[in-house]
Amino acid sequence: NAGVTQTPKFRILKIGQSMTLQCAQDMNHNYMYWYRQDPGMGLKLIYYSVGAGITDKGEVPNGYNVSRSTTEDFPLRLELAAPSQTSVYFCASLMSGSTEAFFGQGTRLTVV
């Protein structure tokens, strides 16, 4: 049982480049989330999804896009990377009905 898997673990991007952060879960969870964590700070919600085909914005969605075509996958797309997007990105999932949230190991992104 792999849980929540994020790829890549590390990435350096140049300003203006684009990339997709991958997130997959094998627990059949309907809720999935993307967070970013800046140094010394808590986690801020970027986007979330309550099921396949349904996504919504969190606190800090600007500069990002998501899709949820399957229950398992929830990729996060960065278009036109900016230095302000340098952060650690975490994906999480849980099953609706008050259950434990599971997190991936994170993707450390640097934009130079």
Partner 1 sequence: KQEVTQIPAALSVPEGENLVLNCSFTDSAIYNLQWFRQDPGKGLTSLLLIQSSQREQTSGRLNASLDKSSGRSTLYIAASQPGDSATYLCAVQSDYKLSFGAGTTVTVRA
List of residues contacting partner 1 (CB under 8 A): 31, 33, 35, 41-45, 48, 50, 56, 58, 90, 92, 94, 96-106
CB of 20 to partner 1, least distance (A): 20
Comparing CB distances to partner 1, the nearer of 15 and 50 is: 50
**Smallest distance, Å, CB 72 to partner 1?**
19
For 32, 72, 83, 95, the CA distances from 26, given in Å and listed in that order, are 12, 6, 33, 12
Q: Are 47 and 34 in contact (CB under 8 A)?
A: yes
Nearer to partner 1, 26 or 79 (CB): 26
**Cα dist from 3 to 39, 76, 91, whole Å:** 25, 18, 11
Of 19 and 45, the one with the shorter C-beta distance to partner 1 is: 45
Radius of gyration over every alpha carbon of the chain, rounded to an integer in angstroms:
13
Q: How far is the CB of 31 from partner 1 (least distance, A)?
A: 6
